[in-house]
Amino acid sequence: MPKLADHGERRAQIAEALLRIAGSKGLHAVTMRSVAAEAGFAVAVVQYYFESKEKLLFFGLQHLARRMGERVWAHVGPTGQAASPLRVVDAVLTQALPQDEESRVFHLVYTAYAVLSVTDSALATQPFMDGPNEMQAFLTDQLHKARDGGEIAARLDPEAEAAGLLAMSAGLGTSVLLGQRTADEALGVLRYHLERIAPGRFQWSP
Amino acid sequence: MPKLADHGERRAQIAEALLRIAGSKGLHAVTMRSVAAEAGFAVAVVQYYFESKEKLLFFGLQHLARRMGERVWAHVGPTGQAASPLRVVDAVLTQALPQDEESRVFHLVYTAYAVLSVTDSALATQPFMDGPNEMQAFLTDQLHKARDGGEIAARLDPEAEAAGLLAMSAGLGTSVLLGQRTADEALGVLRYHLERIAPGRFQWSP
DNA sequence: GCTTTGATAGTACACTCGTACTACCAAAGA
DNA sequence: TCTTTGGTAGTACGAGTGTACTATCAAAGC
């Protein structure tokens, strides 16, 4: 057997190249040739590790979702499980905003994929529901804990609050992407609404 | 001079065909050929009224924005200018949700255009900021009036509330598009948050 | 040392795209 | 009536696409 190549790593390399192109030139600029060139391989190599473009696109989406999940978790984890549920909620929602370039690319490509999935049956819409659903369940749980701990008012509905905040965060993220407002302005709006839920309890962060 | 054709109407016809395709098959399925076929014309006719695909796409976006504006206004107008500002706010935000097929197509195509505009300089991002900015200013104004009229608490910030509600509405709309929740569920979340702003004042509508 | 085989490279083919070009048709003005 | 001209149709071309195909290379096993 010749020089064994780590298939997983190769596929990851190619997926990264795909995301770089999709993030800079748009998802429509993702072609076998452009991805191969960006990754520094020949077209046939991309074909070798992904038998078709459809498979490549699908893997690219999975790769993106995985990286987004890791990133959010990396920011939430350190906050600690034992920490105040409100801090966790704040960390998650803040991280959901496109504040740096990497996050901006995530948002853009993810949205592009989402739009594509509506009309292209090849890209199952399942990944676009699992992630958000999981996230909403997580936030709902945190808000339940916050309510039980008396951090937020008892009249608040954790489920509806979580769903609303998540949707707001997504909407704000899109507006940042389109240049309607800056990330800081979006953060300000988000913080205002968090403050409305738990007055005086969101002033630890700068 | 031969059989005069109303250029405005022809362009509108073609734009409608474009939107039908973009709404059903996706914006990437919009080609000179597909649009011409959908409109029942030859390709050269589309070329005749739009000198290039770029111009066609741009006009399609303008046409969409115009129709969306008309639709929202048609629902807000009857509510009356003299009516309660909260009713106007409710009407606008409700209408911003994709509840019927036409609205669903609006959301989808608009989002597709928005995503495209981020990476394609040909599609100016201006239209995606003017509309939302105008809408936010309008809602902010209504909330100011509501606050002055004592319909909402004085501690609320009209600007931040308007921005948040609009972002939430957009985010909820996207989630409906992706099938994460139904339009009714999204409406429920939205109504919950309106109710939070002005308790007991959003129970007129079914 | 030779063969096998996983990995990479180059190329060709069928297809679709946007666009340019020419031809045709029919109504209005001379 | 004949010519001009706005509108419509058909077609051809170059560029770019996904994919199949073959060739080449290099390391592992005999």
What is the pLDDT averaged over residues A125-140? 91
| A167/B166 CB distance under 8 A | no
Q: How many domains does chain A contain in total?
A: 2
Find the helix packing angle between B127-148 and B85-95, rounded to 10°: 150
> CA dihedral in degrees (A93, A96, A100, A106; nearest 10)?
170
Average pLDDT over residues B106-125: 93
**How many whole angstroms separate alpha carbon B143 and alpha carbon B113?**
30
* pLDDT value of residue A198: 94
Q: Cα B94 from chain centroid?
A: 12
**Could you tell me if A173 and A132 are in contact, meaning their C-beta atoms sit under 8 angstroms apart?**
no
Is the Cβ of B188 closer than 8 Å to some Cβ of chain A?
A: yes
Pick from A190, A196, A203: nearest CA to A152: A196
**Interchain CB distance below 8 Å, B167 and A168:** yes
> Do A9 and A87 have their domain in common?
no
Residues A75, A91 contacting (CB under 8 angstroms): yes
How many Å apart are CA B158 and CA B163, to the nearest integer? 8
Query: Do B45 and B140 lie in a common domain?
Result: no
Segment B29-77, tens digit of pLDDT: 999 999 999 999 999 999 999 999 999 999 999 999 999 889 888 888 7
Report if residue B204 sits inside a domain: no
Residue A21 has pLDDT above 60, yes or no: yes
The predicted structure's pLDDT at residue B180: 96
Handedness of CA A139, A99, A12, B29 (dihedral sign): positive
Environment class of B56 (CB within 10 Å of its CB; exposed 0-12, middle 13-18, buried 19+) = buried
Is the pLDDT score of A199 beyond 60?
yes
SS3 A139: helix
For residues B87-93, give the mean pLDDT: 93
Q: B91-117: string of b/e by CB count within 10 Å (b at 16+)?
A: bbbbbbbbbeeebbbbbbbbbbbbbbb
Confidence of residue A80 (pLDDT cuts 50, 70, 90): low
Structure-block tokens of residue A100: 């740096």
| Predicted local confidence at residue A82, as pLDDT | 63
Task: Summarize pLDDT for A153-192 with one digit per residue, the tens.
Answer: 999 999 999 999 999 999 999 999 999 999 999 999 999 9
Are residues B46 and B74 both part of a single domain? no
- Structural domain of B144: 64-197
Residues of chain A with Cβ-Cβ distance to B168 below 8 Å are 164, 167-168, 171
Q: Is A121 on the interface with B (CB under 8 A)?
A: no
Residue B119: pLDDT over 70: yes
Exposed (0-12), middle (13-18) or buried (19+): which is B20, by Cβ within 10 Å? middle
A70 plus A43 within the same structural domain: no
* Residue B141 CB contacts under 8 Å (≥ 6 apart), including other chains: B158
pLDDT of A77: 73
Spacing of A33 CA from C13 C1' in Å: 16
Residue A204 placed within a domain: no
Taking CB atoms and an 8 Å cutoff, what residues of chain A touch B178? 114, 117-118, 125, 128-129
B167–A188: do the CB atoms touch at under 8 Å?
Answer: no
Looking at the predicted structure, is the pLDDT value of residue A204 above 60? Answer: no
- Mean pLDDT for chain B overall: 93
What was the pLDDT predicted at B81? 62
Cα–Cα distance, B98 to B108 (Å, whole number): 9
Q: What nucleotide is nearest B4 when CA is compared to C1'?
A: D6
Residues A104 and A12 in one domain: no
Distance, in Å, from the CA atom of A181 to the CA atom of A174, rounded to the nearest integer, reads: 10
Protein-to-nucleotide distance from the CA of B46 to the C1' of C23, whole angstroms = 18
Residues present in chain A in total: 206
Element (H, E) at A12: helix A7-24
Q: What percentage of chain B has pLDDT greater than the value 90?
A: 80
Mean pLDDT computed over B81-107: 91
Residue B47 contacts strand C, CB under 7 A: yes
Nearest CA in chain A to B190: A164
For position B125, what pLDDT does the model report? 78
Pair A90, A166 in one domain: yes
Return the pLDDT at B206: 46
HSE at residue B69, side-chain half, CA atoms within 13 A, is 14
Examine the domain organization and report whether A110 and A174 are in the same domain. yes
- pLDDT above 90 (res A205): no
Residue of chain B whose alpha carbon sits nearest to that of A121: B25
pLDDT tops 50 at residue A47: yes
Same domain for A77 and A11: no
Same domain, B38 and B76: no
Is residue A203 domain-resident? no
Q: What is the pLDDT of residue A201?
A: 80
- Mean pLDDT of the region A107-112: 96
The CATH number of residue B150's host domain is 1.10.357.10
CATH (domain of A17): 1.10.10.60
Residues 6 or more apart whose Cβ sits within 8 Å of residue A91: A75, A76, A79
pLDDT digits (tens, 9 = 90+) for B130-162: 889 999 999 999 999 999 999 999 999 999 999
Helices (H), chain B: 7-24, 32-39, 43-49, 53-76, 85-95, 101-119, 127-148, 158-177, 183-197
Is the same domain home to B102 and B47? no
Task: Check whether residue B31 and residue B101 sit in a common domain.
Answer: no
Q: A167 and B163 in contact by Cβ < 8 A? A: no
Cβ <8 Å between B29 and A119: yes
Residue A20 lies in a domain: yes
Asked whether residue B168 is assigned to any structural domain, the reply reads: yes
Using the predicted structure, report yes or no on whether residue A206 has a pLDDT greater than 50: no
Q: How far apart are CA B36 and CA B18, in angstroms?
A: 9
Q: Please give the protein residue whose CA is closest to the C1' of the nucleotide D21.
A: A44
What's the full length of chain B, in residues? 206
Secondary structure of residue A122 in the 3-state scheme: coil
